[in-house]
Chains A and B, each alone.
Chain A
Amino acid sequence: MPMLSYLTLYVDRLLSMRFVSAFLFFGLVLIFASCGEPGADPAFRAEGKAEAMPVHHSEGLRIEKTRDGFLVEVRNPRDTAEIYGTYRLSRTKKSSAGGDETVIRIPVQRAALNSTTFVPFFEKIDAHGVITGVSYASRVTNERVKAQIDAGETLEIAGGDGIDTERLLMSAPDVLMAYMYNASDFSKIEDLGIPVIMNMEYAESTPLGRAEWVKLAGCLIDRYDDAEELFEVISRTYGNLHDLAREADYYPVVFSGSKYESKWFTPGNRSFVAQYIRDAGARYAFQHVDGQSNVELDFESVLSTLVKADFWGLIVSDNNEFKLSSLIRMEPQYALFNSFKKGQVFVCNTAKSDYFGDAVLEPHIVLSDLIGILHPDLLPGHDFTYFRPVVVDVTS
Chain B
Amino acid sequence: MRIRFAAIALLAGLLFFLSIFLGSVYVSPAEVWQSLTGGEAPLLSQKIVTAVRLPRALTAALGGGGLAVAGLLMQTLFRNPLAGPSVLGLSSGASLAVAVTAMGGTGLVFGYYTQTIAAVIGSTAVLLIILAVARRFADVTVVLIVGLMLSFFTSAVVGLLQSVADESSLKAFVYWGFGSFAGVGTAQMPVFAGPVIAGILLSALLIKPLNALLPGEMHAKSMGVNTGRLRLAVMGITGMVTGVVTAFCGPVAFIGLAAPHFARMTFGSVNHGIILPASLGIGAVLGLLCDLIARRPFADTGIPLNTVCAFMGAPVVIYLIFAGRRKKWLI
Task: Check if A169 sits within 8 Å of B44, measured CB to CB.
Answer: yes
B236 to chain A, nearest CB (A): 28
Stretch at the interface among B57-65, B195-203, B238-246, B297-305: B297-305
Task: Check if A160 sits within 8 Å of B52, measured CB to CB.
Answer: no
Interface centre among B44, B168, B178, B304 (most CB of A within 10 A): B168
Task: Check if B167 sits within 8 Å of A293, measured CB to CB.
Answer: yes
Task: Check if B44 sits within 8 Å of A166, measured CB to CB.
Answer: no
Task: Check if A162 sits within 8 Å of B175, measured CB to CB.
Answer: yes
Interface residues of B in 296-320 (CB under 8 A from A): 300-302, 304
Task: Check if B47 sits within 8 Å of A167, measured CB to CB.
Answer: no
Task: Check if B24 sits within 8 Å of A182, measured CB to CB.
Answer: no
Q: Mark B212-230, 1 if CB is under 8 A from A, else 0.
A: 0000000000000000000
Stretch at the interface among B74-82, B92-100, B130-138, B182-190: B182-190
Interface residues of B in 138-194 (CB under 8 A from A): 166-169, 171-172, 175, 178, 180, 182, 185-188
A8 to chain B, nearest CB (A): 27
> On chain A, which size bracket covers the interface?
20 to 34
Question: A159 interface residue, CB < 8 Å from B?
Answer: yes
**Number of residues of chain B lying within 8 A (CB) of chain A:** 30
Q: Are A161 and B304 also in contact (CB < 8 A) when A169-B47, A181-B172, A294-B167 are? A: yes
Task: Check if B47 sits within 8 Å of A184, measured CB to CB.
Answer: no
Stretch at the interface among A186-194, A226-234, A274-282: A186-194
Question: A321 interface residue, CB < 8 Å from B?
Answer: no
Task: Check if B47 sits within 8 Å of A192, measured CB to CB.
Answer: yes
Interface residues of A in 278-311 (CB under 8 A from B): 293-294
A332 to chain B, nearest CB (A): 26
Q: Are A191 and B186 also in contact (CB < 8 A) when A159-B301, A182-B169 are? A: yes
Interface centre among B52, B102, B169 (most CB of A within 10 A): B52
Task: Check if B175 sits within 8 Å of A166, measured CB to CB.
Answer: no
Task: Check if A191 sits within 8 Å of B168, measured CB to CB.
Answer: no
Question: A156 interface residue, CB < 8 Å from B?
Answer: yes
User: Contacting B169 at CB < 8 Å: which of A181, A188, A293?
Assistant: A181
CA distance A160 to B47 in the complex (A): 24
Q: Which residues of B contact A181 (CB under 8 A)?
A: 168-169, 171-172
CA distance A182 to B166 in the complex (A): 9
Q: Which residues of A contact B167 (CB under 8 A)?
A: 293-294
Q: Which residues of B contact A191 (CB under 8 A)?
A: 51, 185-187
Task: Check if B300 sits within 8 Å of A161, measured CB to CB.
Answer: no
Task: Check if B44 sits within 8 Å of A170, measured CB to CB.
Answer: yes
Question: B25 interface residue, CB < 8 Å from A?
Answer: yes
Task: Check if B25 sits within 8 Å of A167, measured CB to CB.
Answer: yes
A192 to chain B, nearest CB (A): 5
CA distance A169 to B24 in the complex (A): 11
Q: Which residues of A contact B186 (CB under 8 A)?
A: 191
CA distance A167 to B178 in the complex (A): 21
B105 to chain A, nearest CB (A): 10
Question: A164 interface residue, CB < 8 Å from B?
Answer: yes
Chain A's closest residue to B304 (CB) is A161
CA distance A167 to B23 in the complex (A): 9
Interface residues of B in 275-304 (CB under 8 A from A): 300-302, 304
Chain B's closest residue to A296 (CB) is B163
B197 to chain A, nearest CB (A): 21
CA distance A166 to B304 in the complex (A): 18
Task: Check if B44 sits within 8 Å of A165, measured CB to CB.
Answer: no
B164 to chain A, nearest CB (A): 10
B179 to chain A, nearest CB (A): 11
Q: Which residues of A contact B300 (CB under 8 A)?
A: 156, 159
A83 to chain B, nearest CB (A): 15
B residues near A (Cβ < 8 Å) are 23-25, 44, 47-48, 51-53, 102, 108, 112, 166-169, 171-172, 175, 178, 180, 182, 185-188, 300-302, 304
Pull 9 A–B residue pairs with CB atoms less than 8 Å apart, ordered by A: A161-B175, A161-B304, A165-B51, A166-B24, A169-B25, A181-B168, A187-B185, A192-B47, A294-B167
Besides the known contacts A161-B180, A167-B25, 17 further A-B residue pairs in the complex with CB atoms under 8 A apart: A161-B178, A164-B24, A165-B182, A166-B24, A166-B53, A167-B24, A169-B25, A169-B47, A169-B48, A169-B51, A181-B168, A181-B171, A182-B168, A182-B172, A188-B188, A191-B185, A192-B185
